[in-house]
Amino acid sequence: MPGDLVDILILSGLVGLATGLGGLIAVIRRPGRKTLGFLMGLAAGIMVMLSFIALMSEALRISGPFMGAAGFTVGSVLMFSLDLLLPHKYFAVDEKGMLDGKLLKVGVMIAIGISLHNFPEGVAVASGFSSSPKLGLVIAVAIGLHNIPEGIATSLPMYVVGSSRRSAVGLALASGLVEPLGALLAGLFQSTFHELVPFGLAFASGVIVFITTDELIPVAHEHGHERSTSLGLIAGCIATFILIGTIG
C-alpha cells in the first residue's frame, strides 16, 4: 500500500499542476469567453459522464445502492456547504479586461475558495485509484481538464490588477496543490478501511456532479456563447468514452 500512496500522490500532484497550467495560460495569452465556455463545457461533459458510468456504477457493483446513495449524498451536500461558505466565480474580468469590483476582492479569495473545492477532488482521485489504478487515471485526466479554467480564473484577476506574472501563476499553482493533500488523506483512510472504497467512489461522484451542475455549466452560460459550451459538453461526453475505452 505505501507504493499505492506514492502513485496517488504523484497522480494527484499532476492534477493539481493543471491549475498552474491554467494560470500560465491566463498570463501568456488570455483566452476569450467563447474559448473558456468550450473548455468548461468539455470539462463538464467528461466529469458528469465519468461520475455515473465509472464512479457510481463501480460503487453500486461493489456494495449496492445503500452505500452508493450515502456516499453520493455526503459528497454533494459537502460541496453545497462549501459553496455557501466560500462561493467563488470563474470570471472576474470581462471581455475587454475590465475588473468587476463586486466579484473581485482580489484573486486571493477566489484562490481560497478553489483550494477548498480542490480538496474533495483529491479524494475523488484517491478513491478511484484505490478501486482501480486505471479508474484513478481516468478521473485524474477529467479533473485535470476541469482545473485548467480554474487556474485561469485564479490568475487572471491578479494579473489584471498589476501582480507580476510569477505571483499570479504561483497563486493558481498553490490553490491546485491542495489536491494532493486531499488525495493523501483519503488514500491513508481507505488503506485502513478498505471496505469504505465504494463509499469514496460514490462520494467522488456526488462531488463531481455538484461541480458540474452548480459551477461549470451555469457560469459558462452566464456570459453567453451557450453553443460553444454545448459543443464542448458533447465533445466531453465523446472524450469520456474514448478515455474509458483507451485507459479503462
Q: 99 by DSSP, 3-state: which? A: strand
Residue 177 CA to residue 244 CA, distance in Å, equals 26
Per residue in 75-131, pLDDT (tens digit) is 889 888 877 776 555 444 444 443 444 444 445 555 566 666 677 778 888 888 888
Q: How many CA atoms lie within 13 A of 76 on its CB side?
A: 16
Per residue in 176-204, pLDDT (tens digit) is 888 888 888 888 887 777 788 888 889 88
* C-alpha 104 chain-centroid distance: 21
Question: What predicted TM-score, i.e. pTM, was given to this entire model?
Answer: 0.75
Question: Given a cut of 50, is residue 55 above it in pLDDT?
Answer: yes
Per residue in 133-177, pLDDT (tens digit) is 888 888 888 788 778 877 877 777 667 666 678 877 887 888 888
Residue bearing cell 501563476:
169
Specify the amino acid at residue 42: L
Report the percent of the chain where pLDDT is more than 90: 5
Q: What is the pLDDT of residue 3?
A: 61
Mean pLDDT of the region 18-36: 81
Q: What is the pLDDT of residue 113?
A: 61
